[in-house]
Amino acid sequence: MRWLWPLLLLPLLALAQDVATQERRVRSLEEELARARTLERQMEARVQALNRELARLSQRTQNLLAEKTRLEGEIARLEGERAALRREVARLQGEVRRTEERIARLERDLESLKDRLQALMQSLHRERAGRYLPLLRAQSFTDLAVRARWVGYISRRDAEVVRAIQTTLQALRAERERLGLLLADLSAREEALARAQRGLEARQEELTATLEALRQEEEGTRALLREALGERQRLQGNLAALQARILAERQRLLELQRQEEERRRQEALRRQAAARPAQVVVPPPPLPAAVGRLAFPVPGGRVLIPYGQEGPFQVIQAPAAGSPVQAAADGYVAGILYLPNLGYTVMLVHTETLATVYTNLQEPLVGEGEGVRRGQVLGYTGGGLLIRPEELEFRVAVRVGLETRFVDPAAYY
């Protein structure tokens, strides 16, 4: 039934065009606002992650600085111990030198005494026969005894000196060995401290390098954080601008809706003035005999605005919002149209010359091409934005010859 579509579509599209365009603009801005909010949330999450990473790096830097301070104190302590050990080693080395000098001096004295004893023994050997001559020249026995005792005393005295020197040498050599062992032990301890200090200094260098890397990483993280904060501020500015635009566009949409309602009222008044003579001159043609009378499309409803007062249709008020809408006669669904401002429009074709149109439905309960029976529920009122949810716009279209026009439905109830 292509003959009916131009007659139906042209006034509906003209009615909703500006408002629909504005609604699309508002929806587009709202979608853009939702995307911007998603980006802002993502950026906020990134800022928080960077803050956590920065806090972690700062804590690690503080820990490493504390470790470095501890190592510096340990190195200073080891350096002090090494200095004390070096002083002790130097002191022991001095004692060793002095002990060695005493040993050398005693060894020289011992050698000299040995030489003297050896010379004495050789002299006594050469002169053993003559050694007793002085004793024989003694004037008395007492003189002889004195001379013999004196020679024995000299011999014993030399032997005692030799034994004393040997004892002292043994003691000094033992002291030298003890000092040598102590010196070796101190030197080993000093070397161990030196190794420990070198290890700590190497660890200190590693910590210094790690700290420098951490500082660079922290600086990089701060740069990323500044960039993220700037991006977040930019996104927040965009959000504020979008919200302002959406508010302005919504106000403009409300104004367009008000203007559209005003235009509809003015147009209805003009059509009413123009339709009154036509209704008198051209009465609605009779219905086909196979159709009979039309059923009222909204059970329990009433005609709120008669045909021609606001346009070529009746405005029927239902008992409540979301009331059922029924088929006025047997037929089939020739088409379904959806406009956000007017809801769903269902067109039924009953004969080759008769069709009915139901506007402001929620999602229909019938499908295009489906046969319907008189009184079958097509849907429920309340699908449009510009029409009250308890109202239905009802049209009856007839075709006489080549002419198709809407007529007053009240003539066919």
pLDDT top residue among 168 and 66:
66
| DSSP classification of residue 381 | B
pLDDT top residue among 381 and 126:
381
Q: What is the structure's pLDDT at 147?
A: 56
Beta strands in 151-289 (DSSP E): none
Q: Which of 72-76, 233-237, 242-246, 297-301 has the highest mean pLDDT?
A: 297-301
Distance separating alpha carbons of residues 240 and 268, to the nearest angstrom: 41
What is the 3 state secondary structure string of 326-373?
Answer: ECCCCEEEEEEEEECCCEEEEEEEEECCEEEEEEEECCCCCCCCCEEC
Residue intervals in the chain for CATH 2.70.70.10: 293-413
pLDDT at 131 > cutoff 50: no
Domain 293-413 has CATH 3.30.70.1530: no
pLDDT at 280 > cutoff 50: no
DSSP SS3 for 392:
strand
pLDDT top residue among 134 and 309:
309
Q: What is the structure's pLDDT at 214?
A: 85
pLDDT band (50, 70, 90) for residue 149: low
Please, what's the b/e burial string for 162-197 (b: 16 or more CB within 10 A of its CB; e: otherwise)?
A: beebeeebeebeeebeebeeebeebeeebeebeeeb
pLDDT band (50, 70, 90) for residue 278: very low
Residue intervals in the chain for CATH 1.10.287.950: 15-281
pLDDT band (50, 70, 90) for residue 174: confident
pLDDT top residue among 283 and 338:
338
> In the chain, what are the helix, strand and coil shares in percent, each to the nearest 5?
65, 15, 20
List the one residue out of 399, 331, 317 whose CA is nearest residue 360.
317
**CATH number, span 15-281:** 1.10.287.950
